[in-house]
Amino acid sequence: MTDISYREITRNGLWDNNPALVQLLGLCPLLAVTASVVNALGLGLATLAVLVGSNAVVSLIRHRVTNAVRIPAFVMIIATFTTCTELLMKAYTYELYQILGIFIPLIVTNCTILGRAEAFASKHSLAPAIADGALMGLGFAAVLLMLGAIREAVGSGTLFAHMDLIFGPAAANWKIELFAPGYSFLVFVLPPGAFLVTGLLIAGKNAIDARIKRRRDALKTRPVKGAKRVRTTGVIQ
Amino acid sequence: MRQTWPLPGGIHPPENKSQSLQRPIAQPPLPPCLVLPLNQHIGTPSVPRVCVGETVLKGQVVADAEGMISAALHAPTSGVIKAIETRPIAHPSGGEDVCIVLESDGEERWIELAARPDYADLAPAEVLALIARAGITGMGGAGFPSATKLQPRHAIDTLIINAAECEPYITADDVLMRERAPGISVGIDILAHVLGQPETILIGIEDNKPEAASALRDALDGSRADLVEIPTRYPSGGEKQLIQILTGKEVPSGGLPADIGIVCQNVGTTHAVFEAVCKGTPLISRITTVTGGACAHAGNFEVLIGTPVEHLLQAAGYDQGICQRLIMGGPMMGFTLADTDVPVVKSTNCLLAADAKESPQNNIPQACIRCGLCAEACPANLLPQQLYWYARARDYDKLAAHNLNDCIECGACAYVCPSEIPLVQYYRAAKGEIRVMQQEKIFSDHARIRFEFHKDRMEKAEREKAAKREQRKKAAEVARSTVGNSQPAPDGTTATDEDSDVVRAALARVQANKSSTEAQLRKLERNLEALDTQLNNAQSRLTEIPESDTGPHGKAAAAIEQIRVKRARVAGELEALKNQAPETPTDTGANAEPAGQDQRAVDKAAEAIARAQQRMAEQQSMSPDDKRRHQRERLEKRLVKARQRLAQAQTDGDENLGAYADAVASLEQKLTALQNTETTAEAIASSGTDTGER
Amino acid sequence: MPLALITSPHQHAAQTTQRVMQHLLLATVPGLVALTWHFGWGTLINVALASITALGCEAAVVVLRRRPVGFYLRDCSALVTAVLLGLALPPLAPWWIPVVGSAFAIVIAKHLYGGLGYNPFNPAMVGYVVLLISFPVEMTRWLAPASILPDGASLPDLQASLQLVFPLLGNTPIDAFTMATPLDTFKHSQGLLVEQVLAENVWFTQGTWSGAGWEWVNLGFLAGGCYLLLQRVFTWHAPVAMLAGLSLMALLNYDAGSSTSGGPLDLHLLSGATMLGAFFIVTDPVTSAVSHLGRLIYGALVGVLIYIIRIWGNYPDAVAFAVLLMNFAAPFIDYYTLPRTYGHEKRGRATKMKD
């Protein structure tokens, strides 16, 4: 394949082709588990790990796999990495594992991972594939984090509650109370709020893109194309 | 009381009819100039019969109907045809069209009229011919040629006369019925006669015209026509809607009332039919209502067709200063005029000069809230709010599914819309876009068929060529194997075999040429004859066109010149051919000649082959230096010849001078290039004895 | 004067969108009066807060969309949404309840879909539902009507009401006059016969037909609805169908007043938000079905859904959920209920199938 620059991979994964805000892939875990920062962070990191691993292995075996069985092969690889991640989480972050529940095995069905394996990793060598996986995963995790932060802040009035589920007991006092205790705006914790915030995030991204484009177009010099003559004939009453 | 069915939907706008009912029908003064558009009706425009400068009498035919759906046009007054040119016409587009401009002489001299008050003794087809000759079209606003309408393909059992006049402001039919009811009654009788005496004859009139109804009832005394009063509602006067109200039947979508055995005619058209048949007067005038706040004397006028709107408005006391909108037609379906120099046509039933109070404010439309008031008002049971959404989205499939084509553009939906959305304009625009798309589809389908046909033809030609090539190759192989097992030697014995093939082909061509010389002779003679007849015809046509008509005259003269030139050329060719070939070859001569020619062809071919072979041998034995020298000599010879030809061309003044000059230049270039390589080669060779090592 | 070049028609009826909205606002007055009479100042404060928020949000969004503010505010549609939302909320709810609900309704349920005429869901009901699932405690704290309060107690006056609504102005406990609604009472009286509930509960002993106070509110909205029908702001199909659907379900399920029955018919018709829903919510033209038959089906299904959720669902009153569910189904109903056009033999489908 033509050589793709790492700069482009980075820009694509984080902004231009962000899996959650542009490709709109993997919306199921996005909307279901981002009610708080710790859940979002947990799932984001798990997805990132699976993405990097599967991209690497798919890239390594890309010349050996025939076209007819490539999709099942990729899914097998992704499932393997997902199971590894799940077992790791079960071992080291058991409460988070219990909270996230079925969404950890469901990482297999995350279209981002299969999509990147099919569209990128199977056509590029190892290093770009790993980079793409890492950056796509980072982009996805960043959106998850933002979503989790907003939903937790507006829905429960806190930020970074229960971080000890990932980072150990020392992180228990990272919690910030934004509003009075007892505050709750339940709709943002429930799935409708997830849809709303995601929609607003996508709108925000599009607004930023539009503004960048407007600024860039304003700086572009336009060639002067000669004077235009104005007809003034005709009956004026 | 005859049963009537209710109109679904409909609206009840303020009637505003009293302003124009204050006076009887008036006659405006004779205008000095009348403009008659050739296309005043639905269908093909008429073809002018008169020419510029001709004097016409009142009622004389000035244009003939063309095709199945067309109508004739008559001079509304006596005068001189000033011009046949494009003039602005009354159309929503504000465009122009070809019109016959008639300058009236003020004398109003009538042509001789052929009145047939004894129509009942004539066959229906003859009466129909009278109606067609009178150029009668629908006077209710649509303008469909009545003669075509009265010739339906199905049997008619109901004749409906449309006297509803549901649109506000218009009172033309009302006063016609009040003042000329007996004529209408006779007209109904004539129509019934033409249609083969349908079972039911109904006249639908709204109940806001009591005087007209009673006048008509008195006139219809004894006739079997039924006068039915229907509730006043807009648009109960639409043809489809009136049929539904009076008979309960619906005209099938995309069909005509004739399909269900009904013919509907406007009451004004009926009166015109009466005048045409019983008095022989063609359609040259109509009743038009001129009303509105900007008219001081609103009323009904009997207007000559072609009267400029300006003239008519003056007769009604028009005040340009306070007129905000000038509408031709009624306020619900009429279109605005930008200027008053357009003519009145056969379908102009009203001129509405609206002042500021009568023109609604043209506010910015708000969003559609899907309130459904438009669906309540629609007489065709459509969903205007959905049609509006899909017209905006240009979703033509959904528009078709929602039956956009059944919209009669009555304007009831836009009248009630609380958001003041111009709904009807959206439908008109959508219908126009659909029509353009259908046209383009026809073109592209046609282009696709042509392309596929072309592709097939090309492929077939390819296949045939390939087959022929195969055949020839096989024949050559067979010939070669049968001629003998002669080894292919390098000096050219095979050339003889190929030579014989070539020779045989040459023989065949020469034969064909020889015979075709005679065929050519015959062909040229035939051409000459045809051109002679063409010339005679063109010259006789030229005498018909008068000198003054410069355009056509000039064209015909030019055509004649072209034919003469062609004829001269063909005659020259014929002469040349006759001189070239022997006149009548004798039998022996015929046989001897081809043989001699064959021999000569064979000799020539053999010589050429020998020369080429010699050259090849020489070339192979030459060194590169010699080759170059040889090439240079040949180039120089060619260059000399080319320069000679250029000089010749210059003296002749040949138009291909540039080409000769280019040829010379390119040869010179090649020569210099060759010389350069020669010098470099020599330099290399002379720069030492170590050339070979390098 | 130059002549205007405009398309036909050149006449217009007097009805404008603004006039339609004004009729709607006028028709809410009897119900509003009944609510204020029986439950105090709370509803008026709710309506006022919601209206101010709605107009402010609409102006802000219109400015963001770079359009003329006056043109868009003048059609009173935001005001109607706010009033309907304010009427549906419990009186004396904290001030941020109507503000948040109104903001959600105008910004998210109406303008994010394109503005007036483009929203698929009823904005007032969206606002109500968001509030209901977000703040279940505050949204289920209803008041007892004046007629039921024990002697000596009375509904808070204007100043006390304002203090309750804006807690920063002072702190007064509210529990003295809260009470579950009649529907709520019925829902939680399992095991009792209908007549027992009617006899024992103070709602019904004090009320004439069903639920003191609430019945007058519903009758007020019914009067407003009849006024709108007379003014031809909408047709009878949707409201009558909804009431008929609800009545049919109530009659079918009322097995002579056993303990498992759903409740008497007049309870369902004259309690909760039934009449408000029938004449002001279900008739919202933007979000309902389009044809007459479509509106009949739409209304009937709303009525049926209200009953189902009331009896077998988790919520005592279900108008908002039923309406939102049917808004979702309105295009589907439209597909099958195109009216038969003149000249066609039967009704078509809303999308032409390509053959």
How many whole angstroms separate alpha carbon B167 and alpha carbon B352? Answer: 12
Written as one string, the DSSP assignment of B347-375 is T--EEEEE-TTTSPP-PPP-------HHH
> Residue B226 phi/psi, 5° resolution?
-105, 125
What DSSP state is assigned to residue B225? -
Residue of chain C with shortest Cα separation from A203: C112
Residue with the two structure tokens 């039911």: B200
- Determine whether C177 is exposed, middle or buried from the number of CB atoms within 10 Å of its CB (0-12, 13-18, 19+): buried
Question: How open is the CA angle B140-B411-B335, to the nearest 5 degrees?
Answer: 60
B10 within a domain of the structure (yes/no): no
Q: Which pLDDT value is given to residue A5?
A: 87
Amino acid identity, position B106 = G
Residues B70 and B166 in one domain: yes
Q: Which pLDDT value is given to residue B596?
A: 53
In the predicted structure, residue B72 carries a pLDDT above the cut 80: yes
pLDDT in tens, B343-379: 999 999 999 999 988 888 878 899 999 988 999 999 9
How many whole angstroms separate alpha carbon A165 and alpha carbon A173? Answer: 12
CATH of the domain at B244: 3.40.50.11540
How many whole angstroms separate alpha carbon A133 and alpha carbon A77? Answer: 14
The average confidence (pLDDT) of chain C is: 87
Q: Which of helix, strand or coil describes residue C321?
A: helix
B307 within a domain of the structure (yes/no): yes
Residues B614 and B635 in one domain: no
Residues B162 and B264 in one domain: yes
Q: Name the minimum distance, in Å, from the CA of A140 to any CA of chain C.
A: 25
pLDDT in tens, B297-312: 999 999 999 999 999 9
Binned at pLDDT 50, 70 and 90, residue B136 comes out as very high
Torsion angle, CA of B493/B494/B497/B503, rounded to 10 degrees? -90
In the predicted structure, residue A47 carries a pLDDT above the cut 90: yes
Written as one string, the DSSP assignment of B443-479 is HHHHHHHHHHHHHHHHHHHHHHHHHHHHHHHHHHHHH
Check CB contact under 8 Å for B415 and C13.
yes
In the predicted structure, residue B581 carries a pLDDT above the cut 70: no
Ranking A16-25, A222-231, C51-60 by mean pLDDT, the lowest is A222-231
In the predicted structure, residue B595 carries a pLDDT above the cut 60: no
Residues B325 and B414 in one domain: no
How many whole angstroms separate alpha carbon B287 and alpha carbon C138? Answer: 75
Q: Which pLDDT value is given to residue B587?
A: 44
B6 within a domain of the structure (yes/no): no
Torsion angle, CA of B576/B580/B584/B589, rounded to 10 degrees? -170
Q: What tokens appear for B362 in the block?
A: 């043209």
Q: What tokens appear for C184 in the block?
A: 């709520």
Sign of CA dihedral B391, B395, B400, B401: negative
Helix, strand, coil share (%) of chain A residues, nearest 5:
70, 0, 30
A128 within a domain of the structure (yes/no): yes
Domain count, chain A: 1
Domain count, chain B: 4
Query: Rg of chain A's alpha carbons, rounded to an integer?
Result: 23
Cut 0.90: pTM above it: no
In the predicted structure, residue A153 carries a pLDDT above the cut 50: yes
Residues B122 and B212 in one domain: yes
**% of chain B residues with pLDDT over 90:** 60
pLDDT in tens, C211-221: 778 888 999 99
A74 within a domain of the structure (yes/no): yes
Contacts of A186 in chain C (CB under 8 A): 133-136
The candidate with the shortest Cα–Cα distance to C192, out of C107, C94, C259, C102, is C259
In the predicted structure, residue B381 carries a pLDDT above the cut 50: yes
Q: Which pLDDT value is given to residue C146?
A: 79
Q: How distant is the alpha carbon of residue B114 from its chain centre?
A: 35
**Nearest-CB residue to B380 (from C8, C291, C342):** C342
Residue of chain B with shortest Cα separation from C114: B367
Cite the DSSP H helix spans in B209-289.
Answer: 210-219, 239-247, 267-274
pLDDT in tens, C314-330: 888 789 999 999 999 99
Q: Which of helix, strand or coil describes residue B26?
A: strand
Is the distance from CB of B187 to CB of B268 less than 8 angstroms? no
* ipTM score assigned to the predicted complex: 0.89
Of B299, B322, B354, the residue at which a domain comes to its end is B354
Binned at pLDDT 50, 70 and 90, residue B549 comes out as low
The parent domain of residue B193 ranges over: 18-354
B202 within a domain of the structure (yes/no): yes
Residues B408 and B327 in one domain: no
Is the distance from CB of B425 to CB of C10 less than 8 angstroms? no
Q: Name the minimum distance, in Å, from the CA of C19 to any CA of chain B.
A: 8
Q: How big is the A-C interface in CB pairs under 8 Å?
A: 18
Sign of CA dihedral B583, B589, B590, B592: negative
Residues B464 and B503 in one domain: no
For B:56-85, CB contacts with C below 8 A are: none
pLDDT in tens, B165-191: 999 999 999 999 999 999 999 999 999
Residues B166 and B291 in one domain: yes
Residues 6 or more apart whose Cβ sits within 8 Å of residue C151: none
pLDDT in tens, B222-263: 889 999 999 999 999 999 999 999 999 999 998 999 999 999
Cite the DSSP H helix spans in C65-171.
Answer: 69-73, 77-88, 96-103, 123-134, 136-139, 158-165
pLDDT in tens, C143-176: 888 777 766 667 778 887 887 788 776 555 666 6
Sign of CA dihedral A184, A185, A188, A191: positive
Contacts of A199 in chain C (CB under 8 A): 112
Q: Which pLDDT value is given to residue C169?
A: 63
Of B354, B383, B401, the residue at which a domain comes to its end is B354
pLDDT in tens, A104-130: 999 998 899 999 999 999 899 999 999
Q: How far are the Cα atoms of A218, A219, C130 from residue A223, in angstroms, in the given order?
A: 13, 13, 53
> Domains of chain C (ranges plus CATH)?
17-336 (1.10.3430)
B448 within a domain of the structure (yes/no): yes
Residues B119 and B86 in one domain: yes
B9 within a domain of the structure (yes/no): no
The parent domain of residue A170 ranges over: 6-215
A113 within a domain of the structure (yes/no): yes
What DSSP state is assigned to residue A68? T
A237 within a domain of the structure (yes/no): no
B360 within a domain of the structure (yes/no): no
pLDDT in tens, B75-112: 999 999 999 999 999 988 888 999 999 999 999 999 99
Residues B533 and B439 in one domain: no
Residues B632 and B612 in one domain: no
A233 within a domain of the structure (yes/no): no
Contacts of C117 in chain B (CB under 8 A): 367-370
Chain C interface disruption, residue of B419, B421, B427, most C CBs within 10 A: B419
* Residue B384 contacts C where some CB pair is shorter than 8 Å: no
- Helices and strands: H and E segment counts in chain A: 10, 2
Residues B503 and B408 in one domain: no
Q: Which pLDDT value is given to residue B693?
A: 44
Residue with the two structure tokens 């934004």: A178
Q: Which of helix, strand or coil describes residue C115?
A: coil
